[in-house]
Structure 1
Amino acid sequence: MKSTSKILLGVITAAAAGAVIGMLFAPDKGNEIRSKVKKTANELADELLNAIRRGKSQYQDAKDDLRNKAYELKGKAQQKVEEMADEADEQYNATKKKLQVS
């Protein structure tokens, strides 16, 4: 787990714990407290799901970028190999021609 994810999870957990503790010490009736706890839990769950969705999206973007760069490098490598092979052929033919002339 990346440090950013750990920090986000810690912040969400701390916020949830703080909210629950704050509600338990509030001078409200039991059903009001339960309602607030439920509402806060739902809000935190939504925040967590949104964070997970953003993380998945960022992961997919990074994966796509990496794949594209790999294909680009593969193409450049193939082109370079072909250029080197052509150059080697030219040098071979030039050397062969010089040897035949001599």
Structure 2
Amino acid sequence: MAKNGGNSFLGFVAGAAAGALLGVLFAPDKGRNTRERLSYKLDKYREDLEDLVEDLVEERKIAVTAAKSEGQKVIDDAIKRAEELMGEVDAIKESIAEPALEDDNE
């Protein structure tokens, strides 16, 4: 997912740069008007980039939160299973100790 976001971002930046360059090179308008339009478009691209970065950061936060949640589930399951195994070990130890006690009493 991060690769697609990164590739999309790079593609967007490359497209914006190419569009701006071609706009300046082939502009049929006066220099001042061209600069004003270019400035406006670059401001718009900047806003779009900021929105894209915010979206990517938010997606990352969601992914990290989901990963933490899943990790916590794994840890909780491991703790539960470890406690069950300790109980089984205690039961086995007790069952082993009982015959030994009976042998001592004989």
Same fold at TM > 0.5: yes
Partner of 1:93: 94
Partner of 1:64: 65
In the TM superposition, 1:1-102 aligns within 5 A as 2-102=3-103
1:62 is displaced (CA, Å) by 1.0
- In the TM superposition, what whole-angstrom CA distance separates every residue of 1:6-60 from its partner, at most 9, and x where no partner exists? 3422332223322331243121112210111001101111111111101100111
Q: Which amino acid aligns with 1:93?
A: E
TM-score, with structure 2 as normaliser: 0.82
Q: Please, which runs of 5 or more residues in structure 1 have no aligned partner?
A: none
TM-score, with structure 1 as normaliser: 0.85
Q: Please, which runs of 5 or more residues in structure 2 have no aligned partner?
A: none
